[in-house]
Chains A and B, each alone.
Chain A
Amino acid sequence: QSVVTQPPSVSGTPGQRVTISCSVSASNIGSKTVNWYQQLPGTAPKLLMYNYSQRPSGVPDRFSGSKSGSSASLAISGLQSEDEADYFCAAWDDSLNGRLVVFGGGTKLTVL
C-alpha cells in the first residue's frame, strides 16, 4: 500500500501564491491518480481537484494541480482569507488487494 506524505502546514499572505506538495511512495506513479480535497472548519471535505489537475465545476481557477515525478502539487494563487482550511490529497492505488485509497495526513493552510 502506498504512503502519501504532505507537509503539516503552509502559510501565505493575501494575494500570494502557495503550493502544497503530495509525495506518493510508489515505483509506478503512472498507475495511480491523485485527488485533492479542501476541508473548511467544521465541514465535510470538498473535492477540489481530480486526476491530478482537473477542476470540478465551481472550483475557482485560482486552484491548480500538477504532477511531477512521484509527487503531486496543489497551487493556490491570489490567496484569499477564505482559503484558510485543511487540504488533503488522496492517491488511488491499484494493488493485489484491489483499488485502494490512501489519504495524506493533511496540510493546514494559514492565511496571515
Chain B
Amino acid sequence: QVQLQESGPGLVKPSQTLSLNCTVSGGSISSGAYYWTWIRQHPGKGLEWIGYIYYSGNTYSNPSLKSRLTMSLDTSGNDFSLRLTSVSVADTAVYYCARGSYHKGFDYWGQGILVTVSS
C-alpha cells in the first residue's frame, strides 16, 4: 500500500520561501510512470493543482505559480519536495502531495499539511 506524508513548517512569514517535503512509502518513487504531485486547498475553497514532477525529473507547473515554484525528486530518500518563493497570505492553504497518472488520476494522497503565511 503506497502512503504519502507531507512535512514542513506550518508557519511561514510573508516574502519568505515555503518548503515542503513528501515522503513516499510502500513503493519506489523512481519506478513506474507516475506524476508526483502537489495540490493545495485554500481554507474553505476548492482544489488547486500546483504542479508535478515526473519520475524522470521533468516538471510541469500551474502557469499561475510557475515563476515562484521549484520541485525536485530525491530517489535515495524516496521523497519529493516543493519550494514556493515570495509567499503571501494568498498562499495560506492545506498542501497535499499525491501520486498521479494520466490514465488513472491521483490515486494516493497524503493527509495534507496546513501552511499559514503570516508575520
Query: Which residues of A pack against B, CB within 8 Å?
Result: 1, 33, 35, 37, 43-47, 49-51, 54, 56, 88, 90, 92, 97-106
Contact = CB atoms under 8 A, between A and B. Distances in A.
Contacts, number: 66
A44 B109 CA distance: 7
Given A44-B111, A90-B49, A99 B60 contact: yes
Nearest to A105: B46
Main secondary structure of the interface of B (DSSP, over half): strand
A49 B49 CA distance: 18
Nearest to B37: A101
B96 A99 contact: no
Given A50-B105, A99-B60, A100-B62, A44 B110 contact: yes
A45 B41 CA distance: 10
Interface residues of B, number: 24
Main secondary structure of the interface of A (DSSP, over half): strand
Contacts of A106: 46-47
A46 B111 CA distance: 11
Interface string B98-119: 0010111111011110000000
Nearest to A44: B109
Nearest to A88: B47
Given A44-B112, A100-B60, A35 B105 contact: yes
